[in-house]
Chain A
Amino acid sequence: MISLASPTVAILLTGMLVGVSAALLGSFLVLRGNSMLADAISHSILFGIALAWLLTGQTTGPVQIAGAALSGVLAVLLIETLTRTRRLRDDAAIGLVFPALFSIGVLLINVFARDVHLDEHTVLLGEIGFVWLDTLTLGGVELPRATLAMAVMLALDAVFVLVFYKSLKLATFDPDLARALGLAPGLVFYAHLSLLSGTAVAAFDAVGVVLFVTFVVVPPATALLLTRRLSTLIAVAMLIAAASAPIGYGVALWLDVSIGGSMALATGPFLAAAYAWRRWQTARRRRVRPVQPASSASA
């Protein structure tokens, strides 16, 4: 019987849970062309985390996660409001909102939270190496708190995607048709981003807010280079994310560097390999083309 509280198991399990849930939600984000919203949300939740900490004195727990997740949704709302004034393009609106919320978060921590567990470096970089220290006992089993939070978030994400798969798919590829069919793509969009935001809050302990973006964007982007089917894309992205955690952990132990950073970085070689494969395919197709008979050249 492997103890869930043993450091190695806790770290690996948490890393894989973060990766898989991020890649699951990230697939839709990347397909919709909104990848930078992941960056915006993950920076903005610092504001929510700091505020939730100020009000409750805790950074983990369901209330804190939900509260902090609201700040991610707030960021998206602010970005939409700014864009709707038509005085700013959406890229400038994103770039204006999240640094501001992030700055307020950092200053709140600067002012109120000196010498406390919460500091901006932890939020930014995460410390997955310590997740096994903070445990709670559930039904006689000792569980790391962060691992449990991630497992709950993954379950929520998975249920959401399974239940709303059709609406999500339609809202991603053809929002107009989704609207015409009465599927409320806007509502699905916000539900999706709220979950992403909540997952980011649960993950910040482990990998930090910026490294979370890696798991949201890189595995789905890699999968997009390999397949065109949505279900396959999600599966490949989740596999890549799950594989990156142990690879990154091994490298981190070997070089004695940040575990979270190393896990995130481990997704990079997958993207590079997929890119190289794509280029090779294109080059091969180009080489083959002149040999084909003229009649099929139009294809």
Chain B
Amino acid sequence: MLTLLTDYTLQNVMLGAALIGVISGVLGAFAVLRRQSLLGDTLSHAALPGVCLGFMVAGAREMTSIMAGALVTGVIAALLMLALVRHTRLKVDAGLAAMLSLGFALGVVLLTWIQRQGGAAQAGLDSFLFGQAAATTRADLYPMLVLVVLALVAVGLLWKPLKLMTFDPTFAAVAGLPVHWLDRILTGMIALAVVTGLQMVGVVLMTAMVIAPGAAARQWCGGLRGMVLLSGAFGAFAGVSGGLISALAPGLSTGPVVVLVATAIALVSLLIAPHRGLLPQWWRRRHRRSHTSTDRILLTLYELAREHGNWRYRVEQGAVDAFYGMLTEPQLTDLHARGLVVPAHHMPDEGPHWQLTDAGVEHAAECARRRSRQRGRLE
């Protein structure tokens, strides 16, 4: 294992993947919160023509010009999308999908055009579709590093306005912030993240790297600072472990492996995160349910009936649910089985109703007497 870690190619892969993870995680956190997750999808597909143009301008597989080209066409596609949505009745989804697919089509056309012209030189370009970590050289890492530092510094400097923009764009505009410019800057920075990942993850799957870490971090954190940091960390972890797996198992494309690791992190977070997680929530509900005795619910029905001076008073199930903050149907069904309550008739536009039976009134009264005796003893 140690010899593996000192392997030159592997070092490049892990460094690069960590850089990609950090930048896409940090910027993806904003995208997820601003409900712009799919912007990354459009940016990354529309980066393909830029990759080809960058290659054509430089005449070789040179990372800096390829990244610059990808950045330019990605941002152009995003701006065209904004123009389409602002000036016509097309909605954001149609704008995103149209620019995504047209950008990719242009990319495919350019890619085949280069193939007809160049011959061997194009070999490296195919890898931008799915990413090829093993092809990463130390020289490829420098432009990536520059982009990551640039993006992180920008996030640091613009922290306050970005935060305001993310949580309350209307207030940000009223407060005099240049909202449109911030919007464009953030779009540009997400494009930076996408461009960083072209080499290793590829244009098709970079969208997942923007979304999954942010979606995972959201489950654990209630604050923006924590969420951005954790999202960056998740991204880095997914990048490094995915890069390692694909480097060790030859034949596996890097992009899909990294994406599956990131998706797994998101799914696990969705399940087990302490506050928002589905399993903790399910457990809390169960706990609460088992600790809310059927007798207490019967007593509630009893008190309501006494309050209204009618032992046959119809209580709406939704009201009991709201009172206990949980679904009380199991308890009510249980009471029904014991012959203490019966379903009452209700109008079709209402929820189910229940009313006490004679036995129910008796049992509830007995419970109430026992309770007051207990209370009396305590006092």
Chain A positions within 8 Å of B, measured between CB atoms, are: 30, 33-36, 38-39, 43, 82, 85, 87-89, 91-92, 94-96, 99-100, 102-104, 106-107, 110-111, 114, 120-121, 124-125, 208, 210-211, 213-214, 216-218, 221, 224-225, 252, 255-258, 260-262, 264-265, 267-268, 271, 275, 278-279, 282
16 pairs across A/B with beta carbons < 8 Å? A36-B93, A87-B218, A91-B35, A95-B40, A102-B204, A103-B205, A103-B255, A107-B252, A110-B253, A210-B204, A214-B98, A257-B112, A264-B101, A268-B105, A271-B98, A278-B88
> In the complex, are the beta carbons of A211 and B208 less than 8 A apart?
no
> In the complex, are the beta carbons of A265 and B106 less than 8 A apart?
yes
Q: How many B residues, CB 8 Å from partner? A: 62
Q: B355 contacts the other chain (Cβ, under 8 Å)?
A: no
> In the complex, are the beta carbons of A218 and B251 less than 8 A apart?
no
| B30-69 contact mask (Cβ, 8 Å, vs A): 1 or 0 | 0010011110110001000000000000000000000000
SS of A interface (majority): helix
Contacts of B207 in A (CB 8 A): 95, 99
Alpha-carbon gap, A99 to B37, bound state (A): 13
Given contacts A88-B270, A94-B38, contact A217 B208 (CB under 8 A): no
> In the complex, are the beta carbons of B91 and A33 less than 8 A apart?
yes
Contacts of B162 in A (CB 8 A): none
**Which of A106, A125, A211 has the most chain B CB atoms closer than 10 A to its own CB?**
A106
Contacts of A82 in B (CB 8 A): 270
Select which of A36, A255, A275 is within 8 A of B113 by beta carbon: A255
Tell me how far the C-beta of B30 lies from the nearest C-beta in chain A, rounded to whole angstroms. 12
Alpha-carbon gap, A271 to B80, bound state (A): 12
Alpha-carbon gap, A89 to B219, bound state (A): 12
Chain B residue with Cβ nearest A222: B98
Alpha-carbon gap, A88 to B126, bound state (A): 33
> In the complex, are the beta carbons of A214 and B101 less than 8 A apart?
yes
Minimum-distance CB pairs A-B, first 4: A261-B108, A99-B208, A103-B256, A214-B101
Contacts of A121 in B (CB 8 A): 126, 129
Contacts of A225 in B (CB 8 A): 88-90
Contacts of B152 in A (CB 8 A): none
Alpha-carbon gap, A211 to B208, bound state (A): 19
Alpha-carbon gap, A51 to B129, bound state (A): 21
Contacts of A36 in B (CB 8 A): 38, 41, 93, 96-97
> In the complex, are the beta carbons of B88 and A30 less than 8 A apart?
no
Task: Give 12 new A-B contacts, CB below 8 A, not counting A213-B100, A224-B94, A268-B105.
Answer: A30-B94, A92-B215, A95-B211, A107-B252, A107-B257, A110-B251, A121-B126, A124-B129, A208-B108, A258-B111, A267-B102, A271-B98
> In the complex, are the beta carbons of A91 and B102 less than 8 A apart?
no
Chain A residue with Cβ nearest B108: A261
Given contacts A102-B204, A103-B256, A261-B109, contact A217 B104 (CB under 8 A): no
> In the complex, are the beta carbons of A35 and B37 less than 8 A apart?
no
Select which of A38, A100, A255 is within 8 A of B260 by beta carbon: A100
Chain A residue with Cβ nearest B129: A124
Alpha-carbon gap, A282 to B130, bound state (A): 42
Given contacts A96-B266, A261-B112, A271-B102, contact A34 B93 (CB under 8 A): yes
> In the complex, are the beta carbons of A95 and B98 less than 8 A apart?
no
Chain A residue with Cβ nearest B276: A87
Tell me how far the C-beta of A197 lies from the nearest C-beta in chain B, rounded to whole angstroms. 16
Q: B278 contacts the other chain (Cβ, under 8 Å)?
A: yes
Alpha-carbon gap, A197 to B192, bound state (A): 33
Q: B341 contacts the other chain (Cβ, under 8 Å)?
A: no
**Which of A43, A124, A217, A256 has the most chain B CB atoms closer than 10 A to its own CB?**
A217
Contacts of B263 in A (CB 8 A): 96, 99-100, 103
Chain B, range 142-163, C-beta contacts under 8 Å to A: none
Select which of A35, A99, A267, A282 is within 8 A of B205 by beta carbon: A99
Contacts of A104 in B (CB 8 A): 256, 260
Select which of A256, A278, A279 is within 8 A of B116 by beta carbon: A256
Contacts of B83 in A (CB 8 A): 275
> In the complex, are the beta carbons of B102 and A103 less than 8 A apart?
no
Chain A residue with Cβ nearest B104: A210
Select which of B38, B45, B94, B113 is within 8 A of A217 by beta carbon: B94
> In the complex, are the beta carbons of B204 and A124 less than 8 A apart?
yes
Q: B291 contacts the other chain (Cβ, under 8 Å)?
A: no
Tell me how far the C-beta of A89 lies from the nearest C-beta in chain B, rounded to whole angstroms. 5
Given contacts A96-B266, A121-B126, contact A217 B278 (CB under 8 A): no
Q: B233 contacts the other chain (Cβ, under 8 Å)?
A: no
> In the complex, are the beta carbons of B90 and A218 less than 8 A apart?
no
Alpha-carbon gap, A221 to B91, bound state (A): 9
Contacts of B212 in A (CB 8 A): 95-96, 99
Given contacts A103-B260, A106-B253, contact A85 B93 (CB under 8 A): no
Alpha-carbon gap, A88 to B276, bound state (A): 11
Q: B375 contacts the other chain (Cβ, under 8 Å)?
A: no
